[in-house]
């Protein structure tokens, strides 16, 4: 699963650059520059994913004559290298970044905004997810172009729900109730992130609070984590944790529990879908029945993306990746590459990891669902010998639901004046550090108060 991206605090560019240049490891990577071609930074750094991106780059070169240097770089390293590169003038031409990075870099004056605006206009703004666009729209225009994303989903065992006479869960209250009813000595009712201070708990916590109708700030910009909606969501989180596998749970233990058949539900990222289907050799299903039927869990699992909040709206935590262009880049080549990646090569882009790269551009003006349909048939998995489309393992409604719910991704603060605050809060795992007592019996209202105090401290430091 993708880790939470590191948010650079908004600060005067010169001061931040100086600080980073004095620290170790901040020099721009050696791969940047030297051949005069377009430089593309990508957070997809594993060898197989890098090879796929390089193949796409070569195809672009064959079509345009523009050489592309694909540089693998984690989000944290991107943040350091971008700011130090701005001082030296050695910046990439295109970078694949999360919304919190886009917000921080825009605040520091590091991003070109003309290219994203022109690219979106050329491709058609209506062909993009509105929510994805909102996350990277600042000061009235896009500061990056949405590419793809993954969302936190609730996976549940349809066979166990049917046996218990339960309807598919639609709200957080449904999930908490089902978790308690399905919890038994042999199998937990649910498994979800609970390890205090852990990035996965940060993701799970925001997903749960969003589904409960909890907002980070109110209309005046005041921290709102003590609201009745937030307290109610925390109460349900505590109930779910009580029906979960004992002990602190993180990204590894939660996945292992569901793959072993030890939990009736799982809160996880959409990356889980290939693993449930037995397409990821490093993380195979290990339930008793899976030995004879690797697809046992996939055939008996369904997913809910956006849960319905108490007000009736839909909410799903999601993390998008977006194509940004730094100031000082070769803007003409950058725009051509972005429009190529999101046009002729878009299916190849999504194919790098379909279960975790859900299209944020659903189609074209002539065929609004063209890319969503193509995505559903892309082979997923880690092994070329066994890669297969998700539609081979999940019914049409499940696959369609993954893509459709992704168009409604929600994140606190992103695309607003509170983006730097929300990004810092997530990167520092502030709320997850305060949530531990909730699982030991503390009153939800007391935990909400502690979380609000921590959030106010971060807000005062950032805003």
* pLDDT tens digits in sequence order for the chain, 463 residues long: 333 332 333 333 333 333 333 333 333 333 333 346 999 999 999 998 999 999 999 999 999 999 999 999 999 899 999 989 999 999 999 999 999 899 889 989 999 999 999 999 999 999 999 999 999 999 999 999 999 999 999 999 999 999 999 999 999 999 999 999 999 989 999 999 999 999 999 999 999 999 999 999 999 999 999 999 999 999 999 999 999 999 999 999 999 999 999 999 999 999 999 999 999 888 999 999 999 999 999 999 999 999 999 999 999 999 999 999 999 999 999 999 999 999 999 999 999 999 999 999 999 999 999 999 999 999 998 878 888 998 888 888 888 888 888 888 999 999 899 998 998 899 899 999 999 999 999 999 999 999 999 999 999 999 8
CATH 3.40.190.10 boundaries in the chain: 13-149+317-388, 150-315+411-462
Annotation: CATH topology of 13-149+317-388:
D-Maltodextrin-Binding Protein; domain 2 (3.40.190)
What is the Cα–Cα distance from 42 to 213, expressed in whole angstroms?
A: 34
Question: What phi and psi values does residue 387 have, to the nearest 5 degrees?
Answer: -55, 140
pTM of the full structure: 0.86
Answer whether 348's CB lies under 8 Å from 52's CB: yes
- Cα maximum dimension of the chain: 64
For the domain with range 150-315+411-462, which CATH number is right: 2.40.30.10, 3.40.50.1970, 1.10.3720.10, 3.40.190.10? Answer: 3.40.190.10
What is the Cα–Cα distance from 422 to 419, expressed in whole angstroms?
A: 5
User: What is each CA distance from 207 to 214, 410, 418, 429, 438, in whole angstroms?
Assistant: 10, 9, 18, 14, 16
């Amino acid at each position: 699963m993708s880790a939470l991206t590191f948010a650079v605090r908004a600060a005067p560019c010169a001061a931040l650059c100086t600080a980073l240049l004095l620290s170790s490891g901040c020099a721009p990577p050696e791969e940047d520059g030297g051949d005069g071609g377009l430089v593309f930074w990508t957070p997809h750094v594993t060898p197989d994913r890098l090879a796929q991106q390089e193949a796409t780059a070569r195809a672009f070169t064959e079509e345009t004559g523009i050489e592309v240097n694909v540089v693998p770089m984690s989000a944290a390293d991107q943040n350091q290298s971008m700011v130090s590169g701005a001082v030296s003038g050695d910046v990439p031409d295109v970078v694949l970044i999360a919304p919190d990075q886009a917000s921080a870099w825009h605040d520091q004056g590091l991003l070109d905004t003309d290219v994203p605006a022109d690219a979106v206009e050329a491709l058609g703004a209506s062909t993009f997810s509105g929510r994805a666009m909102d996350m990277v729209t600042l000061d009235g225009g896009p500061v990056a172009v949405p590419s793809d994303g993954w969302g936190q989903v609730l996976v549940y065992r349809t066979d166990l729900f049917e046996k218990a006479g339960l309807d598919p869960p639609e709200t957080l209250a449904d999930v908490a109730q089902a978790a308690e009813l399905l919890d038994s000595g042999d199998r937990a009712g649910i498994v979800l992130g609970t390890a205090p201070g852990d990035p996965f708990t940060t993701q799970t916590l925001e997903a749960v609070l969003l589904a409960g109708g909890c907002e980070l700030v109110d209309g005046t910009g005041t921290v709102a984590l003590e609201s009745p909606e937030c307290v109610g969501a925390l109460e349900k989180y505590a109930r779910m944790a009580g029906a979960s596998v004992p002990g602190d749970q993180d990204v590894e233990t939660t996945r292992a529990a569901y793959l072993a058949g030890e939990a009736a539900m799982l809160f996880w990222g959409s990356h889980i879908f290939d693993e449930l289907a037995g397409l990821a050799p490093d993380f195979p299903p290990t339930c008793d029945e899976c030995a004879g039927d690797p697809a046992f869990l996939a055939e008996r699992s369904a997913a809910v993306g956006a849960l319905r909040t108490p007000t009736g709206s839909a909410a799903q935590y999601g993390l998008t990746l977006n194509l940004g262009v730094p100031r000082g880049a070769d803007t003409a080549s950058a725009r051509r590459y972005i429009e190529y990646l999101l046009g002729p090569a878009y299916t190849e882009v999504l194919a790098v990891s379909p279960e975790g790269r859900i299209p944020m551009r659903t189609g074209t003006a002539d065929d609004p669902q063209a890319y969503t349909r193509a995505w559903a048939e892309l082979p997923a998995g880690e092994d070329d010998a066994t890669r297969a489309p998700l539609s081979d393992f999940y019914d049409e409604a499940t696959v369609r639901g993954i893509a459709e719910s992704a168009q409604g991704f929600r994140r606190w603060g992103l695309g607003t004046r509170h983006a730097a605050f929300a990004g810092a809060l997530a990167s520092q795992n502030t709320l997850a550090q305060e949530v531990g007592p909730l699982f030991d019996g503390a009153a939800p209202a007391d935990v909400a108060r502690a979380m609000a105090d921590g959030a106010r401290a971060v807000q005062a430091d950032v805003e």
